[in-house]
Amino acid sequence: MIQLSDISHQGKSGMSAILIESYDVPGSGPSVAVKDCIDIAGARTCCGSRAFADVAPAQRNAHVVQALVEAGYRIIAKASMHELAYGMTGLNDWTGHIENPLYPGLMPGGSSSGSAAAVAAGLVDLSLGTDTGGSVRMPAACCGIIGFKPSFGRLSRDGLTPSDSDLDCVGLFARSMSLIEGAMAQMDPDFAVADPVARPAIGFVEVIADEEVAGAVAAALASLWDAVETCSLPLLEDAFQAGVVKMAAEASAAYGHLVDTGLLGIDVEQRLRAAPTVATVERMVWAQEVKASFIAQVDALLERFDVLALPTLPGFPPHVDAMGDAASILRLSSLVRPFNLSCHPAISLPLTTPSGRPAALQLVARRGDDARLCAIARLFAHSDQNLQHKEIC
């Protein structure tokens, strides 16, 4: 039985809001925080929402959690999140607003905000999150750590809320590829750490991005430039919009009944109220057509290249006191959300920039080729020139 510390959901902010429960777990295995929409036996799965404050404690661990426990990992905390995983800022009036540990004042990203911040702050070695529209890769980029979204269906979603999704994947955060790969091997028996890849063929996807962000990505690829070829994904924008439509449909189906109950934060209430108008029958048909076409487009490029490379975010995370409107925040997911729609594995690797703000390189691989993607990611994660290495105070 887990031993829960007495951590209140009320009145927290900044670093204290990262973890909403902590557990006394003896041992020497890697420490792990788990997003609040993934079951931990004996703990309530509240999805960062007052609406689930009185839900019965989970009877058993989610499949991925149990796999780590059996391998000797220590589940020491439940991590905060954007309410109902339906937002990207990390601001949560119920569990508290999460501070970005390495970049104070900047948005930590979401929805797996606490999972990313816990790793960035050095509170845990590894954390689990979920990625429906970039919710692992985006906060990883904002917080300056590694974030990995496996191929859709690669990791079991047993014990997750909501239980059904055509987009959502369990994802991982860490500060090293060895931790990512080690945990993947425990959670997925078919995942075997791949041999190093010396010079992969890289398709550098043309996108619209901040000049400094684009420069950081180009600099990261410079050492392999003779293996890099520019390419395009003409349906990338449509795939982003289609992902928004499909996520709105899923959120409405799972949580629409909570609208007007007085139990939701203002931002999530507004998004859920608008969701049926976003995910109309006509738009859902269109989104499904885009999905098929975009998958074919990505697969065709990946017949030529080992991985596709592009920025994780098109710009820098904004300051929390100047985030602009919801539409501008949503646009930050324009380069990550398409690969939830297409089901391809994708990883975000932090990069240095001249201004010192966080940027990240995203690599995308063939569906099911997760181990090789991780092996290629090692080329960049082992480079001190590319990766952020900040001391945590």
Report, as residue numbers or ranges, the catalytic residues. 35, 111, 135
Q: Report the distance separating Cα 273 and Cα 270, nearest Å.
A: 5
Q: Report the distance separating Cα 249 and Cα 244, nearest Å.
A: 9
Q: Show the tokens assigned to 63.
A: 């499949």
Q: Report the distance separating Cα 225 and Cα 287, nearest Å.
A: 35
Closest listed residue to residue 301, CA positions, set 376, 195, 229: 229
Q: Show the tokens assigned to 198.
A: 């010396």
307 with 365: CB under 8 angstroms?
Answer: yes
Query: Which three-class secondary structure state does DSSP give residue 324?
Result: coil
79 with 115: CB under 8 angstroms?
Answer: yes
* Torsion 255-260-261-265 (CA) sign: positive
Closest listed residue to residue 229, CA positions, set 175, 302, 296, 172: 302
How much helix, strand and coil, in percent to the nearest 5, is found in the chain?
35, 15, 45
Helix (H) or strand (E) holding 342: helix 338-342
Beta strands in the chain (DSSP E): 13-14, 19-22, 31-35, 74-79, 97-98, 126-131, 146-149, 169-174, 202-205, 228-231, 307-311, 346-351, 359-364
Q: Show the tokens assigned to 360.
A: 């990240």
